[in-house]
Amino acid sequence: MDLSAINPVLLVASLMVAATPILLAAIGELVVEKAGILNLGVEGMMIIGAICGFAVAVQTDSSTLGFLAAAIGGAVLSLLFVILTQVALANQVASGLALTLFGLGLSALLGQSFVGLKPPPTPELNIPFLSDIPVLGPILFSHDPVLYLGIAIVAGVWAALKFTRAGLILRAVGENHDAAHALGYKVIRIRIMAILFGGACAGLGGAYISLVRVPLWTEGMTAGVGWIALALVVFGSWKPWRVLLGAYLFGGVTVVQLNLQAAGVAIPVEYLAMSPYLITIVVLVILSKDKSSAPASLGRIFHASH
């Protein structure tokens, strides 16, 4: 065992990379849940994003196009969820599960010919002087653009929900859809847009795994990250900055356990690999006492009968 081989600066830098997929998916789901919709299909949308992004990036040799395709892919899959829950008024829990099962199958089918290929590299931002600062440089100023995009989306969602009229309407729809409907807001239309946004974010998160984090395509490679993202929204009590904090916490756990595996700690690999999931459960237990911040209409079916 050699713990001194673990470099704290690299640890923090890779923590941010590990956290980004969870962060992207979770911030998208936060917006969806703020609109009163519980979409359990995050895992499915992520894995579709992962393969769409990977396939397009390999074929066009451009990771930018890859990420774009991933966002579109995720949004298109979430359109299925829209049809089920907003048009056919199906149960949201069951529909989310359907989305995940369907997405996992479809991604495996689409990805057959991409196993073993290498995606084009995603360029890292290299700002002169700033990236060269000893400790802060590698941590803050030399990542890929998508990582910063994730943080920007968090800031954007926070500002939009807190300060804009659109954010207020979105929250109104999530808190009480009947009242929002009576006020003349298009409940269904607003929710559809929220779901599509969530799908696009989850797709980006998935592509971040297949294009930056791993970077490879293997079947079922999201390995529950989508579900952790769902837990994270609860963890963050539906507040964007707390979701960011939570994502970095989970990223930290993942990176530390990987580093411990590499350092050859006496704990078997399997038990270390369990830790992110176990910690998710512990965190859920600690935070689930306080349900007050959940949107009041979350998961309820809206049907304007009059």
Enumerate binding residues for another protein (CB under 8 A).
40, 80, 83-84, 87-91, 93-95, 97-98, 101-106, 108-109, 112, 219, 223-224, 227-228, 230-231, 234, 268, 270-271, 273-274, 277-278, 280-281, 284-285, 288-289, 291, 303, 305-306
Closest distance to another protein from the beta carbon of 85 (Å): 9
Cα–Cα–Cα angle for 66, 33, 35, rounded to 5 degrees:
100
**How many other β-carbons are positioned within 10 Å of the β-carbon of residue 163?**
10
Residues in the chain: 306
Q: Which is nearer to another protein, 118 or 289 (CB)?
A: 289
Q: Which is nearer to another protein, 20 or 107 (CB)?
A: 107
Backbone φ, ψ for residue 259 (5° rounding)? -65, -35
Q: Which is nearer to another protein, 122 or 259 (CB)?
A: 259
Q: Could you tell me the sign of the dihedral formed by the alpha carbons of 150, 155, 158, 163, in that order? A: negative
For 86, which DSSP code? I
Closest distance to another protein from the beta carbon of 258 (Å): 14
Residue 59 CB partners (closer than 8 Å, separation 6+) = none
Closest distance to another protein from the beta carbon of 90 (Å): 4
CA distance 72 to 104: 17
Q: Which is nearer to another protein, 9 or 284 (CB)?
A: 284
CA distance 109 to 101: 13
CA distance 244 to 26: 9
Q: Which is nearer to another protein, 1 or 282 (CB)?
A: 282
Contact between residue 45 and residue 202 where contact means Cβ atoms under 8 Å apart: yes
Q: Which is nearer to another protein, 58 or 84 (CB)?
A: 84
Burial 111-121 (b: 16+ CB within 10 A, else e): beebeeeebbe
Q: Which is nearer to another protein, 89 or 262 (CB)?
A: 89
Contact between residue 24 and residue 207 where contact means Cβ atoms under 8 Å apart: no
Cα–Cα–Cα angle for 41, 57, 80, rounded to 5 degrees:
25
Closest distance to another protein from the beta carbon of 197 (Å): 22
Closest distance to another protein from the beta carbon of 102 (Å): 3
Closest distance to another protein from the beta carbon of 19 (Å): 18
Closest distance to another protein from the beta carbon of 25 (Å): 14
Q: Give the residue among 198, 193, 223, 222 at the shortest CA–CA distance from 210.
A: 222
Q: Which is nearer to another protein, 99 or 157 (CB)?
A: 99
Closest distance to another protein from the beta carbon of 237 (Å): 13
